[in-house]
Amino acid sequence: MAAVMIMSVALIAMLCVLAYTLAVYALPFMLGLTAAQFAYQTGSGLIGAGLVGLIAAGAAFSILAFLFHARRPPILRLIAALAFAAPAAVAGYALVHGVTKVSVPSEIWRQIFCLIGGGFVGVSAVMRLGISPMPQQT
């Protein structure tokens, strides 16, 4: 019985890490998912659609990371960071709202937790964009 409880806690923790990762990479994930759905509906098959989705998601993240690192004017870097972080913050808000919907009875505290969670995921997305492996210009 104890082993089942430990395994269920470990599974819940792994699902939370997966949900957090998908929330941080919300924009590339959704672009990849949309490209995969389009490819599947046009007859590429399941494997072809998966490859198209992976390539589209990787390209979206690479383009955003390149724009973030290659542009010197701060306003262009801010625009690239907001394009990446805004969907992540919304996904983080929705993730925390879904988790706390049953466990937090007060609507005010639920909104506070959701705003903090969305902000945390948005900042984490900008930090992940900032530390992506791109060559530094000196």
Digit-coded pLDDT (tens) for 67-113: 777 777 878 788 888 888 888 889 889 988 988 888 888 999 999 99
Give tens-digit pLDDT for 12-68.
888 878 888 877 788 888 899 999 999 999 999 999 999 999 999 999 888 888 877
What are residue 33's phi and psi, to 5 degrees?
A: -65, -40
pLDDT given for residue 135 in this prediction: 53
pLDDT given for residue 136 in this prediction: 55
Q: Which residues of 69-89 are buried (b: 16+ CB within 10 A; e: fewer)?
A: beeeeeeebeebbeebbebbb
Residues in the chain: 138
